[in-house]
Amino acid sequence: MPGPEASGEGLGGAIGFGVRPALIIIDFVNGFFYRSQYPAITEAAQHTRALLLAARAAGLPVVHTRIAYADDGSDCGVWTMKAPRLRRLTESSESSRFISSLAPEAGERVLKKKLPSAFFGTDLASHLIGRGVDTLIFAGCTTSGCVRATVVDAISHNFRPIVAIDCVGDRSASAHESNLHDIGQKYADLMTRDAVIAHIAGERRAAG
């Protein structure tokens, strides 16, 4: 399914799917769900469950990312000065563990990161290239933070980014909407979860 129509400013052109998609689930960890403080993120995670099951059924590569710092804070950088609560996401903390409904299964890659983009300082690009992946389907949080940063780096690595719009969430509705609009104009195709699932299922049927 193509992305939004190109605007009169030459933005919003369609990228479309390539031949080998993978699902990237960004930072759906307990720290963003305690006390239901961010309901939009909770809703996005609930929607992601069906997308994850569809990806598994189709045999797509799946990558789960989480932020995890050393327990002594020795690897915390400048980002944690701007957002001090991130320091709670330590390797041994329950806050940095994946929520149970989206827990990785055997064979799915778990990627630890220390900065917004899942590509920065990691082997994500080589991992995907080694599996012949050319298209990345994104779910996760937050839309304005780690999702956006990873999507921008994805297209910078020449992958085809697809954002499942009801599977990403943010702390504020305005940040979510404005960043999602900008992502769709410049960096990725925007699709509903059900449209992504339909495409995955169609490709699976076509492959026999």
Go through the domains of the chain in sequence order and give each one's CATH number.
21-206 (3.40.50.850)
What is the pTM assigned to this prediction? Answer: 0.92
Residues in the chain predicted with pLDDT less than 70, given as ranges, are 1-8, 34-36, 204, 208
Closest Cα to residue 14, out of 29, 24, 1, 2? 2
Sequence letter at residue 93: S
> What's the pLDDT at 32?
84
> What's the pLDDT at 2?
40
Active site residues: 146
> What's the pLDDT at 206?
75
> What's the pLDDT at 65?
98
CA–CA separation, 31 and 52 (whole Å): 20
Burial of 33 (0-12, 13-18, 19+ CB in 10 A): middle
Contact 180, 3 (CB under 8 A): no
- In the structure encoding, which two tokens stand for residue 167, read together? 């599977």
> What's the pLDDT at 42?
93
